[in-house]
Amino acid sequence: FDLRGIYGDKTLARQLNSHIRQLAKTNKGFLSALARNANQRTPPLGFFRQFVLDGEGKQSRTFNLKSRGIAPIADLVRVHALALGSNKLNTFERLEDIEEAGVMPDGRARDLILALEMIGMVRIKNQKTQVEAGEEPNNKVDPETLSEFEKRHLRDAFNIVSRQQEFLKYRYPGKG
């Protein structure tokens, strides 16, 4: 769904992408299945808005910002973008199309933009710290290394993602 030509004549890639968008936006069953799939990756928040840690071994006190924060946003945005027939491939640009089309309640697309920016900034800061410590940079963050500001705003960002995943279930209902 994020197909793009990268070399030579890109006409076939554009035509295939256009064909996929046309088929996807009219297939409610497909959109429903895609929405269910998009809700498989959940933000790392527990019942009382506590971070749910999912690392192993040395990383046992961490959660993955990419797979538990950025990817769920990209996945749910992709569903809405396909339903609209948006030709954008960038998540931020797709969110602009979604906002313009009024697919989400007022302000929710903007909330997702801000959530994505917050998660991305914490991820970059964490990777910078890892590089400076001579470590291989990754997407795993130990919440104990975050400031109270970062923790609070990450919780808010993850909460926004959770609410939009719930909205996805409502917007694209299906069996199973």
What domains appear along the chain, each with residue ranges and CATH number? 28-171 (1.20.120)
Q: For CA atoms 118, 122, 125, 127, give the dihedral sign.
A: negative
Q: What confidence tier does 49 reach under pLDDT thresholds 50, 70, 90?
A: confident
pLDDT given for residue 82 in this prediction: 94
pLDDT given for residue 46 in this prediction: 85
For the stretch 7-35, pLDDT in tens is 999 999 989 988 988 999 999 999 999 99
For the stretch 103-122, pLDDT in tens is 998 899 999 999 999 999 99
Quote the radius of gyration of the chain (alpha carbons, Å): 18
Please state the separation of Cα 121 from the chain's center in Å.
Answer: 14
- Quote the tokens at residue 80: 């809405």
Contact 154, 119 (CB under 8 A): yes
pLDDT given for residue 59 in this prediction: 65
| Amino acid at position 21, single letter | R
pTM of the model: 0.90
In angstroms, how far is the first alpha carbon of the chain from the final one?
23
Contact 89, 83 (CB under 8 A): no
Contact 72, 38 (CB under 8 A): yes
